[in-house]
Chains A and B, each alone.
Chain A
């Protein structure tokens, strides 16, 4: 199992960023993908989950309206877009696969991407 994320981004406040996560080594539609972020020197924050099977999503209320998660099953890739970026969105963003096969995320993350640093600065 391998998750490979897109490269680092530098964005201005108010802009949007889209991070991709290309999966390999397993059947993409059998597992969900989670997005977790980590601000510099800080802990881990779960942002949301998307089903690899049917695209259903579940996200933290604080991101609703700014966060869009999608999948492209033809390329086994998950995407996460955050809009209206603020300086406190500066973080490393990780994608992480569900441990358990199925269409409902159960909250255990067994394989992680390498992380994508998003820097928001004017």
Chain B
């Protein structure tokens, strides 16, 4: 199985900050990398698919980049509604696997 490792596990940031979360795959996954946002008590929400494609309806302050084994999710200007946990997930090989999550908290 492909292992996905996110860093950091948590971070504190202020509204307006630029935030970057990284995700590393245990083997090359080309661009088959997706990002989800999850708020407490809610289902995850797809933000980015295929490493850099913005899902319909997702604000443009979210962006993704990377290929192979190293990927990044960037929030260009953190908004109050962005405080949540973010997960990366590979869709290169089954079983599809997720990173352990990065919790973005208010500073």
Contact = CB atoms under 8 A, between A and B. Distances in A.
B62 interface: no
A108 B46 contact: yes
B80 interface: no
A113 B43 contact: yes
Contact of B97 (A46, A61, A99): A46
A44 B98 contact: yes
Interface in B59-104: 87, 89-92, 94-101
Given A110-B55, A113-B43, A115-B43, A43 B94 contact: no
Interface residues of A, number: 23
B98 A45 contact: yes
Contacts of A46: 89, 95-98
Contacts of B95: 46, 60-61
B16 interface: no
Interface in A72-114: 94, 96, 99, 105-110, 112-114
Interface of B: 32, 34, 36, 38, 43-46, 49-50, 55, 87, 89-92, 94-101
A102 to B, nearest CB: 14
**By DSSP majority rule, is chain B's interface helix, strand, loop, or mixed?**
loop
A6 B100 CA distance: 27
Interface of A: 34, 36, 43-46, 49, 58, 60-61, 94, 96, 99, 105-110, 112-115
A99 B46 contact: yes
Contacts of A115: 43
B91 A106 contact: yes
Nearest to B48: A108
B44 A112 contact: yes
14 contacts: A36-B44, A43-B87, A43-B99, A43-B101, A107-B32, A107-B89, A107-B92, A107-B96, A108-B46, A109-B36, A112-B44, A113-B43, A114-B43, A115-B43
